[in-house]
Amino acid sequence: MAPWHLYLMTGMYVLAGAMHFIKPKMYMRIMPRYLPSHKFLVHLSGFTEILLGIGLCFEQTQKLSTFGIILMLVAFLPVHFYMLSSKKASAGIPKWILILRIPLQFFLMYWAYYYVYL
């Protein structure tokens, strides 16, 4: 049986991915302008989060899913930095929260890495 925190991680990514479909406008507002096809990218990233989250539940896909999560979080870093670039890009989120989200991304990467190597 997997540890409870693996199920927590699974739920977190599945819920976060589902939110891309429930509230897509929220995610499109924070997309950097230099990226094309915002709606497609929002849906693709949501689908990817759900798929990788579910993949954590199965021993056969757990390792691949953790690597995918790490790569996804790296790919999302430019969005977090973009949100710090202007008041409009911040989507109304206080700057201190936006700043804290960056180290949080690295913690989430480590958490996924934990299941692969530790």
**Position 87 confidence tier, pLDDT thresholds 50, 70, 90:** confident
Q: What are the angstrom distances between the C-alpha of 101 and each of 59, 73, 88? A: 29, 11, 17
Whole-angstrom Cα distance, residue 38 to residue 29? 9
> How would you class 61 by CB atoms within 10 Å of its CB: exposed for 0-12, middle for 13-18, buried for 19 or more?
middle
Structure confidence by residue, pLDDT tens digits, 4-23: 888 999 999 999 999 999 99
Where do the structural domains in the chain lie, given as residue ranges? Answer: 4-117
Question: pTM, whole model, 2 decimals?
Answer: 0.90
Structure confidence by residue, pLDDT tens digits, 18-37: 999 999 999 998 999 899 99
Pair 52, 64: CB distance under 8 Å: no
- Number of Cβ atoms within 10 Å of the Cβ of 65: 25
* Two structure tokens written together for 11: 């739920």
At 88, which amino acid appears? Answer: K
Residues 6+ away with beta carbon under 8 Å from 50:
13, 14, 17, 18
